[in-house]
Chain A
């Protein structure tokens, strides 16, 4: 964890001029449910990737390859938008 800054060092208006700074906060810790992605069922329609409110669906060369649990909040939107006939994502209780 970086040293905390004094108020005098902070940017006017609380803007963050390095947006990648948010990567430091592993917001996935909030999750109470975890999306489980099934590679065999997935048809790579990318609905989950489009609708994920974070950027937690990992896509490589146009194909889903997994979920980034460092930032996934477990909202379940990906499971909801996955086509009914496919159901490649199921939500399961997060186990600590």
Chain B
């Protein structure tokens, strides 16, 4: 069915179709409208989910952990400060290998206070052991959230499905939705690895481990992430087969004979596509590489793709405040360090706090990438 939906509405609609056993969330700001819309579905009897309205995001994730440990398919949603308050609990969900799925309307983090989109919140959670997907469109957000359920459960890893705050979460888009039945067929029935409440098989969850076992357990968790990429690709292929829309972990746009590319994540990829088209019309060999899966970092896929180009410009929608720009730039640079060609790397930070990223800005980045040089180490796009 073709519907006009904002990102929040589309993600809540996907949640309705997923029909999770439990949604525990803090249903006011800084959380997203997703939770509010979902709560309405619960009140209207459209889903079977148990909705737990908790008193904070920290509690929301704590309740999700309890629920997932009890073998329930569990979801929540949040953004910005809410995700920050969840931070401690994110690591626990990761360490316990609980497949909780969480859409996020990615936004800036205070201070100063700002409600608009950038990737500061989700990128600040990058080491918490969650899978992370960044979506370009509302359609991709809807599709990805459905995939996330299956990927999370198959990998035993929690998953974040990020859409850009306001730019996607609040803007209406024409999207193609599926019927409930095929969505439920696709995700299937959840078969948890274990269930805390199964009194016939008592288990202990969240043990204390000392120097003799902590590192070994972490190593085992790391292996879960190491093995996630093929599973993501497998689920993406199953999704394509069932619904006809395909996604890769990265997407190369007009990269065939490109000499310079821009690599970025999220909604700005749409702007970049336009700019690439215009440059191509002028005969300039430029392209775009969109990174869709940030955790796990598909380093081999990236190395293989990016080593072909002379210049790679990396655009971060968050700064690590490490005096060297964004996380994406440093990670992608590391990926390419051992490549035989070692492309020239250019670093950009853009769109913090929802700052406009225009077609002209995108074109300027492409021009510099095409020239293969720029003056400053990190360029802060559009900053006065």
Interface residues of A (CB under 8 A from B): 4-8, 10, 12-17, 19, 21-22
Contact = CB atoms under 8 A, between A and B. Distances in A.
Given A4-B212, A15-B194, A10 B204 contact: no
A14 to B, nearest CB: 5
Contacts of A5: 213, 216
Contact of A15 (B204, B223, B224): B204
Interface stretch (B35-43, B94-102, B246-254): B94-102
B156 interface: yes
Interface residues on B, range: 20 to 34
5 contacts: A5-B213, A7-B220, A12-B193, A14-B207, A22-B204
A10 B219 CA distance: 10
Contacts of A14: 95-96, 206-207, 209, 217, 220
B189 interface: no
Which 8 interchain pairs have the tightest Cβ spacing?
A13-B97, A16-B204, A7-B219, A7-B216, A19-B204, A13-B96, A14-B217, A7-B220
Contacts of B215: 7
Contacts of B219: 7
B193 A16 contact: no
A16 to B, nearest CB: 4
Nearest to A16: B204
B205 interface: yes
Contacts of A7: 215-217, 219-220, 223
B220 A10 contact: yes
A2 to B, nearest CB: 11
A13 B155 CA distance: 11
Interface in B178-204: 193-194, 201-204
Contacts of A16: 203-205, 207
A15 B96 CA distance: 7
Contacts of B95: 13-14
A5 B205 CA distance: 18
Interface string B151-188: 00000100000000000000000000000000000000
Given A17-B203, A19-B203, A10 B216 contact: yes
A79 B214 CA distance: 35
Contacts of B203: 15-17, 19
A15 B205 contact: yes
A10 B224 CA distance: 12
Nearest to A10: B220
B98 A17 contact: no
